[in-house]
């Protein structure tokens, strides 16, 4: 529901670019100039793809395309030489949700920033102390829109004349907020022009061109047949959607009311412009909205566009003769292949710093699961932008695990940091013993960390530091199943080192790459010794590889382990195993298949796992997990005990906006119990 509403809002008024240009009126030698006009409408713009397919089959020459909003996107692609089948392939394979989000190229981010981007459901930048507002006038910058169409429109991304420098003449319509007038874009940046034409006011940031502030063209002219005439078209074929006005009973939902009310004035102007068409093709779209970007909806809309246009086939053939098209002449144009678009973007050779001077970045994360119930996290980062690149970071988490974190970093050299941070947690956790709840534990946990050195590189980071951890347990309840005796207060210092490597292309459903991490900590209670003797050591390592089997099937083998060496080990330094993610209730918590709750294990623990990941369709995934684990307090006898087996099956929908939504069912030989888990949202 969240996805559908956001997509509808993002595309409701989709139609607007800017910059008035000189309008060419040259005729086509030997025949009349034919223009196709494509209306706006968000996802409803898929009708244009089916309509263009029939127009191509009829063999009528198309010399000019005029589009608004989504019509400008289809029109630009058609004008640079893609045919209808190419554009249909793009519609089928495009991740439209991701397209409308602001996400930096993951390959250019540090692993810390990558984790944050894959956690937050919304991020917004604000200017402070005279800085330049990085996100004026809209919730979404439209970064992905521009990047995607730079890719598809390669060779035409510089300043050009759309009426002279493209295989087909092209123009699109935007609205100038300064004078509240329509602007016809016929030269400049092709990418910026279509970005302007689809900039929904208040949602996308406007595009600034000279003195103009351009937003969606659909607010002024969603069906620009008059523009095609002004540009010199002799014959105009118009394609627009037909909302098919219904009864009062059909306007009961918020989506229905928004869709109809937003289209009232736009529809009035569009009806007036119908008189400029020699042939008008109205495609019925009842049952779909401007936010219907699912693969099934887009396919159905393309089919409706094809069907409605095929019903006008005889009229198209009449116009073909009227245009003076030569018989037995192929006027179709296929200068580009959507499957062989050159990748002009070289693999990045280093990280990119996206921070701006005197900028506050605020972000929001939210999730729900059947164990942690609901949680919300707010984060703010202020970047000073001085010579030391100082950065102040504040995070607040609310839920069963509530947290306050404050951090301060300096960066004397690019991507080399030093810093200090402090975390204060309130945690309420249920602890299980062989699948039966044995303890309810409330804990106040403090963690201070002095980062002496850290380095970020491509897919890699490392850190050296000194830390302090303190646990205060209260309201500790236990029953006859409990085997753990908690000390009310525990604390220790640690000298630690960590290295990470991650080349995965997705945090949750990777289709390629490797994820690996290793950590070592030497722990004491007085910075030198532990309880009067040598301190204890904490070693953790994990590695997971993604291997493709088919285009929709992958296996992900992995290993993980944690070994704690020393005498008189504190309870909270021991191994905690179970749950769905690393460090959920305890910093050292390790997940394994089929074990849904946290259990305390021996000080030496290793596990091997294998995941089968199957993409069912689109963003729907089926996951099968299996694991085998060993534990012991002695390293020599680690594999002497009976191994622990676990299995789990899960279904997930990978929502780009809200995060993974799914449910799982697992079993483990250690607990001999089935475990059900429901999760909604990014993990944090």
What is residue 313's predicted lDDT score, i.e. its pLDDT? 94
CA torsion 366-367-368-372 (nearest 10°) is: -100
**φ/ψ of residue 572, rounded to 5:** -80, 0
For residue 234, CA distances in Å to 29, 53, 64, 230 come to 13, 22, 11, 10
Distance between CA atoms of residues 434 and 600, nearest Å? 10
- Note whether 59 and 332 are within 8 A (CB): yes
Q: Which residues of 522-536 are buried (b: 16+ CB within 10 A; e: fewer)?
A: bbbeeeeebeeeebb
3-state secondary structure of 670: coil
Beta pairing, strands 644-655 & 529-530:
unpaired
Domain boundaries, the chain: 35-102+141-323, 359-681
- C-alpha–C-alpha distance, residues 303 and 88, integer Å: 11
Q: CA 384 → CA 99, 131, 389, 489, distances in Å? A: 31, 10, 6, 38
The two structure tokens encoding residue 109:
């981010």
Give the per-residue pLDDT at 472: 93
Mind listing the pLDDT tens digit for each residue in 315-369? Answer: 999 999 998 887 777 777 777 776 666 655 445 545 555 666 778 889 999 999 9
8-state DSSP, 16: B
Sign, CA dihedral 264-265-270-272, equals positive
DSSP annotation of 596: -
Q: CA 401: distance to chain centroid?
A: 26
What is the second-level CATH architecture of the domain 35-102+141-323?
A: 3-Layer(aba) Sandwich (3.40)
- Joined together, the tokens standing for residue 9 give 């809002």
pLDDT of residue 58: 92
- Interatomic CA distance for residues 118 and 654, integer angstroms: 12
- Yes or no: say if 405 and 421 are a contact pair by the CB < 8 Å rule: yes
Q: Which residue positions in the chain have pLDDT lower than 70?
A: 1-29, 129-138, 244-267, 338-356, 476, 479-481
Structural tokens at position 563: 């070994």
Which class in CATH covers the domain with range 359-681?
A: mainly beta
- C-alpha 138/C-alpha 128 separation (Å) is 17
Handedness of CA 142, 143, 148, 149 (dihedral sign): positive
CB 432: neighbour CB atoms within 10 A? 19
């Amino acid at each position: 529901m969240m996805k559908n509403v956001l997509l509808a809002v993002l595309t409701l008024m989709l139609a607007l670019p800017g910059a008035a240009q000189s309008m060419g009126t040259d005729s086509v030698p030997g025949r009349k100039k034919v223009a196709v006009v494509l209306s706006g409408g968000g996802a409803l713009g898929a009708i244009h793809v089916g309509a263009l397919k029939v127009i191509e089959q009829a063999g009528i020459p198309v010399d000019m395309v005029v589009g608004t909003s989504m019509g400008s996107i289809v029109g630009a692609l058609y004008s640079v030489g893609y045919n209808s089948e190419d554009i249909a392939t793009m519609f089928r394979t495009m991740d439209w949700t991701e397209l409308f989000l602001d996400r930096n190229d993951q390959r250019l981010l540090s692993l810390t920033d990558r984790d944050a981007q894959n956690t937050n459901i919304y991020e917004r930048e604000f200017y402070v102390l005279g800085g330049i507002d990085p996100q004026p006038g809209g919730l979404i910058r439209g970064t992905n829109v521009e990047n995607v169409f730079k890719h598809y429109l390669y060779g035409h991304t510089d300043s050009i004349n759309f009426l002279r420098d493209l295989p087909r003449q092209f123009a699109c319509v935007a609205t100038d907020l300064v004078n509240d007038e329509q602007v016809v874009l016929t030269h400049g940046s092709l990418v910026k022009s279509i970005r302007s034409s689809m900039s929904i006011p208040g949602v996308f940031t406007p595009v600034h061109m000279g003195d103009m502030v351009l937003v969606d063209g659909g607010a002024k002219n969603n069906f620009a047949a008059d523009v095609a005439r002004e540009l010199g078209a002799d014959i105009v074929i118009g394609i627009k959607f037909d909302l098919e006005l219904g009864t009062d009973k059909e306007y009961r939902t918020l989506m229905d009311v928004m869709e109809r009310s937003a289209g009232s004035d736009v529809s009035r102007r569009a009806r007036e412009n119908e008189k400029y068409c020699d042939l008008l093709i109205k495609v019925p779209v009842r049952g779909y909205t401007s936010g219907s970007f699912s693969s099934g909806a887009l396919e159905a809309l393309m089919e409706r566009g094809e069907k409605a246009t095929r019903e006008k086939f005889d009229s198209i053939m009449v116009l073909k003769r009227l245009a003076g098209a030569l018989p037995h002449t192929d006027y179709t144009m296929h200068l580009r292949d959507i499957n062989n678009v050159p990748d002009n973007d070289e693999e990045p050779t280093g990280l990119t710093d996206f921070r701006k001077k005197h900028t506050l970045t605020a972000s929001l994360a939210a999730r729900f699961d059947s164990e942690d119930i609901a949680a919300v996290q707010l984060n703010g980062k202020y970047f000073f932008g001085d010579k030391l690149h100082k950065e102040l970071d504040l995070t607040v988490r609310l839920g069963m695990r509530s947290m306050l974190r404050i951090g301060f970093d300096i960066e004397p050299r690019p991507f080399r940091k030093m810093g200090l941070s402090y975390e204060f947690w309130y945690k309420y956790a249920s602890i299980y013993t062989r699948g039966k709840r044995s303890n309810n534990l409330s804990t106040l946990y403090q963690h201070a960390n002095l980062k002496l050195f850290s380095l970020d590189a491509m897919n890699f980071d490392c850190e050296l530091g000194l830390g302090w951890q303190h646990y205060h347990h209260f309201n500790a309840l236990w029953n006859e199943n409990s085997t753990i005796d908690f000390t009310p207060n525990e604390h220790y210092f640690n000298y630690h080192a960590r290295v990470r490597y991650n080349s995965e292309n997705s945090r949750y459903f990777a289709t390629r790459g490797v994820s690996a991490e290793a950590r070592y900590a030497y722990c004491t209670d007085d910075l030198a010794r532990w309880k009067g003797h040598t301190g204890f050591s904490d070693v953790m390592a994990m590695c997971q590889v993604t291997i493709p089997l088919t285009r929709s099937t992958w296996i992900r083998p992995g290993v993980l382990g944690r070994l704690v060496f020393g005498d008189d080990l504190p309870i909270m330094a021991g191994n905690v195993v179970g749950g769905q993610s690393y460090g959920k209730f305890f910093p050292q918590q390790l997940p394994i298949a089929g074990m849904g709750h946290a259990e305390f294990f021996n000080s030496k623990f290793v596990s091997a796992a294998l995941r089968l990941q199957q993409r069912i369709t689109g963003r729907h995934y089926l996951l099968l997990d299996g694991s085998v684990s060993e534990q012991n307090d002695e390293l020599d006898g680690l594999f002497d005990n009976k191994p622990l087996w676990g299995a789990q099956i899960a279904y997930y929908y990978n929502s780009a906006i809200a995060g993974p939504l799914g449910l799982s069912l697992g079993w483990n030989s250690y607990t001999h119990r089935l475990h059900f888990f429901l999760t909604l949202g990014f993990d944090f």
